[in-house]
Amino acid sequence: MAFAGHLVMVVALAVCLYGIGAALYGARRGRRDWVDSGRRSVYCLAVVLTLAMVILEVAFVRNDFSYTAVAMTSSTTTPLLYRVAAMWSSQEGSLLLWVWLLSIWSSAAIFLTRNRLRDVVPYATSVLLGFGAFFTTLLVFLDSPFGQLSQVPAEGAGLDPLLRNPSMLIHPPMLYSGYTFFSIPFAFAVGALIVRRIDADWIRVTRRFALASWLFLGIGILLGARWSYYELGWGGYWGWDPVENAALMPWLISTAFLHSVMIQEKRGMLKIWNASLVLGASTLAIVGTFLVRSGVLDSIHAFTGGGLGGPFVGLIAVMVAGSVYLVVTRRDVLRSEHSLDSLVSREAVFLLNNIVLVGLCFVIFWGTFFPLISQAVTGTTAHVGPPWFDRYTVPLALVLVLLSGIGPIIAWRRATLANARRNLALPLVAAGAMAVAAYTVVPIGSSVPTVILFCCAMFVLASIGQEFWRGTRARRAISSEAPPLALFSMVRRNRRRYGGYIVHTGIAILFIGVAASSTFQHEKELSLQVGQSARVGAYTMRYVKPTARVVDDPSHTGATLSLGAVLRVTRGGHYVATLRPAADYYPTQPIFGGQVVADLISGDAVQQVALKSSLRRDLWAAIKPLGTTLPATGVAVPEEALVARADASILTSTPQLKQLQYAYEELAAIADAYRRNPPPAGFTLISSPLVMWIWLGGLIVLLGGLIAIWPPPAALRGRIRARYFARVAQELGRA
């Protein structure tokens, strides 16, 4: 079947090349049938790549270790759900996922625009298939997911235990969906610039796809942060890692675009800026993909053994050069139709927001690529860490949060200072009240930026609350509906506006969580014996008893041995929670002779974090059972002496066929010994406030994004259209 997979990929490449040619030929010759054939190529690509995905997934599910990708990233002991996800833990599998998602989203875009932008679509089709051709070329010639091993191993290496987390099942597809969705606004921007048509219809199409990419990428980033918090054992959710930054940069630029495109839509301004933002966001998405795969920067999230850097640099160069050429040569059609009426207007706030967002992106870009820049300039590789990023991003983030509160309460075109003052009164009072409250509760000297952020966030929440209140009141004045119904109708009738406000609310809540958890976190790393306690902030955590389980880890990740602890958490003598952190041990493959029990547990060890989450505070614990290094493997395992003795006994007295069975029995005995006579264990204990607000804020952002992207029902559109048509028709009669 692997060879069939190869052929399917070749067919995919041929479909891309044909589609590019057909669409371009159709566009140049005005032949609709060729353009349609090019469009169908996109659909065909989706079908062909779906088949490739199915072939590879079947190999993973069936543990077909003749495939290199399966043997390197899966095993019989990997649970089924994680075997399915193991496909995208390999370089080649993740590339296939990338291009498959591209084909699916491109098909949706091309289908939805089949009867509009007819001069733009052929070029957009070619660009999308161009991306498809690039990735299928990599998969056919450089890094095939259907590569085979000459000798089929009995067992695979297994999925990296760090990736055996539910977040990782959906994090990569979401992130890649975000990245691939960016290709669509990019393709339509290129098409529109080629045919010199940046009109209202183009904005309508591009904005919706840009919003979809923003939404998917945002979910992907948040899931990645959650994975880091739950799985990596350091208690943080954001480490300014190059790969994390790579996802954040296009997200920031598309946030800027989603705001500034409204100015173009309403005033015909900022066309060059908007075209540049669309082209830039997509290029940054490819830069992110390049960072993950090239190995040029050290990252925990990057694929090792890159080698795809060259082709990606080529693609990025083509995208940058092409974008600059198109914007420069089309500057006549990108000229602004109006200028800013007033500095006190929503346009002005959006402009400032754009400058801050692009500034943030620049800072992150500089910090991310600093190792390469310093290498090129000085010859030595220097890194910048979280303190450097915090120094520059925190002030910009403060301004951004504040602007997200000012924007909604300022009118378009011209807002009088008197009105602005009236609308600002309540949010300013709320921010002031927050400042007073923070001053009495928080040791303000050590956390000024955090307190300022709390005040800004309160300002945002009050301004959005005021907007909802006033909007509902206005709606009730027209319709006499009950308040909840009036609120619902108001949001339903103006999804973009109120969806956007909900997003701002989510962002404010998310930032409160980030600021509180990073400033007021208590953390302790220490070693405890059973019965000993540690004080973490206001909490006391007592090591009550050890736990040990064989082939039955509580997280169902396929660990052979799970050693943990039961911690009792109290506050002021009162019981708060019981935490059960564990360290999971996995087998090493292929099993080599001489160390049967050791082989079962000397793969990667992963800390399974114990968490008691609430709106007020997270109590977080990770355990590292203190063991010694196993000489043969260099891996630290617990109870080394017991393991060595068991292995010696098995190898000298047990027939080879029964060795594995006895090894598990010996492992159970070792686990029992650990329970009865536990050695001290290392613990990381954290008490962190308001972490849940980050995830809640993210969910609110998602809800707001979905409301904003959802098209209004046709009947409602019709009614609104009829009403405004009647009003404008009156005007027409008078003219």
Partner 1 sequence: MTAALAALLVVALVIFVGWALSGPFRARTRERPQQSDERRALESAKEAKYSEIRDNETDYRTGKLSDADFRALDRQLRAEAVEILRAIDELEALSEAAPR
Binding interface with partner 1 (CB under 8 A): 1, 3-4, 7-8, 11, 15, 18-19, 22, 26, 31-34, 36-37, 40-41, 43-44, 47-48, 51, 115-119, 197, 199-204, 265-266, 409-416, 418-419, 422-423, 467, 470-471, 474, 477, 494, 497, 720-721, 724-725, 727-729, 731-732, 735
Burial class of 9 by CB neighbour count within 10 A (0 to 12, 13 to 18, 19+) = buried
Choose between 200 and 376: whose C-beta lies nearer to partner 1: 200
> Residue 172 in 3-state DSSP?
helix
Q: Which is nearer to partner 1, 418 or 657 (CB)?
A: 418
Q: Which is nearer to partner 1, 63 or 419 (CB)?
A: 419
CB atoms within 10 A of CB 68: 17
Helix/strand/coil (H/E/C) assignment for every residue in 530-546:
CCCEEEECCEEEEEEEE
In DSSP terms, 613 is beta-bridged to: 618
Task: Compute the least distance from the CB of residue 124 to partner 1, in Å.
Answer: 13
Q: In angstroms, what is the minimal distance from the CB of 440 to partner 1? A: 33
We find the least distance from the C-beta atom of residue 416 to partner 1, in angstroms, to be 6
Nearer to partner 1, 535 or 721 (CB): 721
Smallest distance, partner 1 to C-beta of residue 560, A = 33
CA 80-84-88 angle, to 5 degrees, is 145
Of 464 and 605, nearer to partner 1 (C-beta) is 464
Q: 202, 180, 9: which is closest to 105 by C-alpha?
A: 180
CB 540 within 8 A of CB 532: no
What whole-number distance in Å separates Cα of residue 103 and Cα of residue 99?
Answer: 6
- Least distance in Å: CB of 435 to partner 1? 25
CB nearer to partner 1: pick between 117 and 252: 117
Cβ proximity to partner 1, 55 vs 550, nearer residue: 55
Cα 634 → chain centroid: 34
User: What sign does the dihedral 82-161-94-710 (CA atoms) show?
Assistant: positive
Q: What are 345's two structure tokens?
A: 């207007």
User: Cα dist. 704→215, 260, 273, 469 in Å?
Assistant: 10, 18, 25, 17
Tell me how far, at minimum, the Cβ of 2 lies from partner 1, in Å: 9
Bridge-partner residues for 561, per DSSP?
550, 585
Q: How far is the CB of 135 from partner 1 (least distance, A)?
A: 18
Cα angle at 68 between 62 and 74, to 5 degrees? 50
Burial readout 487-508 (b: 16 or more C-beta within 10 A, e: otherwise): bebbbeebbbbbbbbbbbbbbb
The angle at the Cα of 177, spanning 173 to 182, to the nearest 5 degrees, equals 160
In whole angstroms, the minimum distance from the beta carbon of 348 to partner 1 comes to 14
Q: Quote the least distance from Cβ 199 to partner 1, whole Å.
A: 4
Pick 335 or 422: Cβ nearer partner 1? 422
Nearer to partner 1, 199 or 552 (CB): 199
